[in-house]
Structure 1
Amino acid sequence: MTENVSIAKAQTLAALERLAGKGPESRGRPALEILTDEDDDINISIIDIENGAVNVKSYRDASALEKAIQEEKCFRIISIYSESTIDPLEVSPHVLEKILSRYEVHSDFMHVVASFGDEPHLAESSCSNMAMKSTDTGDIEISYQIRYVEENFRKGMSNPWSFRHTGVYHKHSTSSDLFILLQPQQNATGERKLLGLGKNGSLKLQQCPFMLHELLFSAYFENWRWYHRYLADRFSSVNDLAMVVRPANAEAASSFERVQSLRNVNDFILFSSGCCRGDLEVLEGFASLRNHESYMDPDNLKSEITRMRGYIESADALQERIRNAIDLVGYTLMLHNQMETAKVDKELRDMTGELKQLTEQTVGLNTEMKKMTQDTIDDSVTVKIITFVSAFYIPGSFAGTLFGMNFFGFDAIHRRIVIANDFWIFIATWIPLTLITIGLYLFVVWMNPRTKGKRGAHWLWQRPSRSQLPLSEEKGLNDSTLSVP
């Protein structure tokens, strides 16, 4: 027996070293993240029940606690507290080693201890660290961890629920029962229910020690129902919006917010489902305990198992609905994008058709411009020809007007027009006037600075070449050849 005690103590010390990160096989977090550093910073209470009387003592001093644990009691509950779920347990490594060594606690309990100092970890949601050791004499050692949710009643918080955990160690023998409870906070719900049992309830608990496990289950597991309803309400509010959004009105920003909210709810439900599976493992562990009917009420245990399975199935169903809602939001946004793409394609086709019509109209206008340019050139040439011809007959008309047509007469006898003998005067006047007119034209054209610098300048009797045409006229003649009648 002494050898077994030494082995158990050695295992406990080795586990503590690994927990503190001192051993060669250490893989855990530093002990100061899980336990407090100083012996004077402990916060531990011991509840002794004897003949229905409950005696509660709190300890802040390590030496006083060491004296208290040396006392022999038939029914003892040691509660080790944390200031909050995310804070270390208020027990130093030295004091914890004293407690574990005094009661020869199996090293499996160290896995439960190592989970504290932080909120329940995502990677350990389904891990209950359930361990049971039993002997033929009826002695039983049980250690496990339950995870649950509780309302935090914090104002201004987006999530009114907090994940918490409680560690339990139970050493049962025919003569005594020892419980070590790792509490996430002072005055926890389970402890309040324990202290509120009254004398009759405490006496019954002393007679049926396993009833304490049932008390913890009833104190915490029922919260899963209300938490899942809270998540379902959050899901419904987002899902209702997703169901009424038309693809034409879908927006990328609002769709992203809905998917983000749905995935957040999905993360919570996944974690809660894992915690429920870990709690179910604890319940089924008690159900598999040999002769468990003699320790616990089988009907109550069966009811707890049934409810826990229901919580898990409800969480699974909610996960499916959340995935469907996420798919709906994604499909709606995808359909919106397809509609927008089709709309843009239609607008591009319409613009292409309009551009084609404009091109055809432009071609028609160019044709008209070519025709107008050709007509303008023809008219210009005609006017110039008339002007050139006028340069000859206008001086003659002027001379004829000047002399009053006295150079011509009518012979009534011979009935013919007779030219006067001094007709040469008309010729002598007409020809110089014509030459003077042509000379003045040439002089004006030659001396005009505009005409000198103008690309299209040409003599009156010349037909303008292509290089002499203005650009607008030249473009109009690119595809046609003009002829002057």
Structure 2
Amino acid sequence: MLDAVVAEYGIDSSFWEIPSCFYQRNDDIEEAFCVPYTFIRTESVIEVSYTLRYPEYKESEDRWTIRQSGIYHRFDIATSKSLFVLFNPTPRSRAHDEVERFLRGSPSLTKREPFWLHRILFSIYTPAWRGYIGSLERRFLPIANTAFATFIEEPLRLNYDNLSTLSNLEIRFLQVPAMITSTTEVIDELCTLFEAISRPDFESQDLQNHRRKCLVSSRTATHLKERVQTIARLLADTLLLRDQIVAREQNKNIFQLNKSAVFITTLTLLYLPASFLGTFFGMNFFAMDQTNNRIVGTPMVWIYVVASAGLTAFTFLFYYWLLHRDGFVFRKLVPKVPEWNIQNLRRQWTSRMKGDVELQGFQM
């Protein structure tokens, strides 16, 4: 169908750049790209084309999404006839419905106002930036207020999940000025075109009002982006300080445990000789000769000496062997997990990560 339209009206090849932006997307590629304002004039025929990005609220899913529309306008100054091609992200978009109402209600205005479609497009979609930025700000303010009212010594009400949310908001606010800049550039070019072909002033005034709204939205997004960066740094520093405090408390506990271990070791060394002597002379290897008032020892005492020396040597040798082969020993002690379970967990983790990373992209 597009080939037939292009061939019938002799449309310039730059027209194909607009439909190239509409395709099924799985990732947010070209998330801030807009086809720039393209102007071609051949004698009395003017061709204008561009794409426009804007936010749109989806009531069914209760969320905002970034969408785009494209427009091609061929205007013959001599005959005041126009050819419009409007590319919408959905079959029944707001611009499509508004165009139908305009054509049914006042078709005669199309001759007096040949650039009416541009006006409708900007009047519908540029005011949506305020609602989109406001929705992002409502997500940001609770985190900002909590971050300023946080005490280091008390349990924190914020965590690293909130820091991730701030990073996401910073990216969203960063996209807004880039997309709005493309819109303001298109408005400036259209106003220049109106002046060149001596069109009525009210068209330029209407577009200039939309341009001012876009500039306000861009400044607001830039301001909020800087605030998000400030709060993100504050939260990161707070979490770092909190981790340091926790580490300091743990070091204190470890220090107390070490002091206790030193005290117990000292007591052990103090009582070990006496315990050894009491145990050694309490064995049946020795007896008291009541007649001669002396201690009588058995000649089998060598069994104790040999057994003690052998057990001590075995203990030290086993400890030396463990020091050089601890990795091998502990790997043998760890239970083996079947390979298919590991692969299954890896697949589940990969699919979950893909689901988290996949943003709510542009639906064309």
Q: Does 1:262 align with 2:162?
A: no
SS in 2 for 1:335: helix
Computing the radius of gyration from Cα coordinates, the structure with the larger value is 1
Closer/same/farther in 2, CA of residues 285 and 367 from structure 1, 3 Å limit: same
Give the aligned residue type for 1:231: L
1:283 aligns with 2:184: no
Residue 123 of structure 1, aligned match among 18, 30, 37: 30
Whole-angstrom CA distance in 2 between matches of 1:316 and 1:266: 10
Partner residue, 2:141: 236
2:56 to 143, 146, 150: 150
- 1:214-241 deviation per Cα after TM superposition (whole angstroms, max 9, x unaligned): 1110011111110111111122234344
Amino acid at match of 1:195: E
> Which of 152, 165, 169 is matched with 2:72 structurally?
169
Identity of aligned residues (%): 21
Q: How does 1:70-109 map to 2 (within 5 A)?
A: 95-109=1-15
8 Å CA contact 2:177–2:222 kept in 1: the answer is yes
Q: In the alignment, is the contact (CA less than 8 A) between 2:122 and 2:207 conserved in 1?
A: no
2:126 is aligned to 221
Give the deviation of 1:201 after TM superposition.
3.8
Match of residue 85 from structure 2: 180
Deviation at 1:263, TM superposition (A): 2.6
Deviation at 1:319, TM superposition (A): 1.7
How does 1:81-480 map onto structure 2 within 5 Å? 95-118=1-24, 122-123=29-30, 125-134=32-41, 139-154=45-60, 157=61, 160-173=63-76, 174-175=78-79, 176-197=81-102, 201-247=106-152, 249-250=155-156, 255-289=159-193, 291=195, 294-295=199-200, 297=202, 298-366=204-272, 387-388=291-292, 454-455=300-301
User: Using the alignment, how far apart are the partners of 2:10 and 2:51 within structure 1?
Assistant: 19
8 Å Cα contact 1:111-1:129 kept in structure 2: no
CA shift for structure 1 position 196: 2.5
Task: Please tell me whether the aligned partners of residues 109 and 144 of structure 1 are also in contact (alpha carbons under 8 angstroms).
Answer: no
Higher relative contact order (CA 8 A, sep 6+): 2
* In structure 2, distance between residues paired with 1:312 and 1:245: 31
- Tell me the amino acid that sits aligned with residue 271 of structure 1: Q
Structure 2 unaligned spans of 5+: 310-364
CA distance in structure 1 between the partners assigned to 2:293 and 2:22 by the alignment: 120
Residues 7-40 of structure 1: per-residue CA shift (max 9 Å, x gap): xxxxxxxxxxxxxxxxxxxxxxxxxxxxxxxxxx
Assess, with a 3 A threshold, how the Cα gap between structure 1 residues 126 and 278 changes in structure 2: closer, same or farther.
farther
Distance of aligned partners of 1:112 and 1:296 in 2 relative to their CA distance in 1, 3 Å threshold = farther
The separation in 1 between residues aligned to 2:31 and 2:271, in whole angstroms, is 81
Q: Deviation string for 1:63-84 (max 9, x for gaps)?
A: xxxxxxxxxxxxxxxxxxxxxx
Name the structure with the higher helix share.
2
1:131, distance to aligned residue in structure 2 (A): 0.3
Once residues 201 and 50 of structure 2 are traced to their aligned partners in structure 1, the CA distance between those partners, rounded to angstroms, is: 17
Deviations 1:130-153 (A, max 9, x none): 101235x65321111111122222
Cα 1:304–1:239 change in 2 (3 A) is: same
CA contact 1:211–1:296 (8 Å) conserved in 2: no
- Give the superposition deviation at 1:121: 5.4
Q: Secondary structure at the match of 1:234?
A: helix
| Mapped partners of 2:206, 2:74: distance in 1 | 22
Q: Deviations over 1:351-375 (max 9, x none)?
A: 22223333443444357669989x9
Aligned counterpart, 1:61: none
For the structure 1 residues 350 and 389, does the alpha-carbon distance in structure 2 shift closer, same or farther, using more than 3 Å as the test? closer
TM norm structure 2 = 0.69
Q: Secondary structure at the match of 1:197?
A: helix
CA RMSD of aligned residues (A): 3.8
Q: Secondary structure at the match of 1:288?
A: helix
Going from structure 1 to structure 2, the CA distance change for 1:187 and 1:453 (only over 3 Å counts) comes to: same
Structure 1 residues 368 and 195: CA distance shift in structure 2, 3 A: same
Tell me if structure 2 keeps the 8 A contact 1:235–1:322. Answer: yes
C-alpha separation in 1, matches of 2:276 and 2:55: 89
State how far apart, in whole Å, the 2-side matches of 1:231 and 1:352 are: 51
What amino acid is aligned across from residue 226 of structure 2 in structure 1? E
3-state SS of paired residue (1:202)? coil
- 1:139 maps to a residue whose letter is V
CA distance in 2, matches of 1:123, 1:291: 33
| Count of residue pairs the alignment pairs up | 298
Unmatched runs of 5 consecutive residues or more in structure 1: 1-94, 391-444, 446-450, 457-466, 472-485
Partner of 1:482: none
Q: Following the alignment from structure 1 to structure 2, what is the Cα–Cα distance between the partners of residues 357 and 389?
A: 41
Q: Quote the residue 2:350 is aligned against.
A: none
Residues 336 and 197 of structure 1: CA distance in aligned 2, closer, same or farther (over 3 Å) = same
Instruction: Answer whether contact 1:150 1:163 (CA < 8 A) is retained.
Output: yes
Instruction: Give the match for residue 480 of structure 1.
Output: none
**Rounded Cα–Cα distance in structure 2 between residues aligned with 1:287 and 1:453:** 119
Cα distance in 1 for residues equivalent to 2:217 and 2:166: 20
- TM-score (structure 1 length as normaliser): 0.53
Q: How many angstroms apart in 2 are the aligned matches of 1:153 and 1:370?
A: 83
8 Å CA contact 1:130–1:285 kept in 2: the answer is yes
For the 8 Å contact 1:126–1:276, the answer to whether it is kept is: no
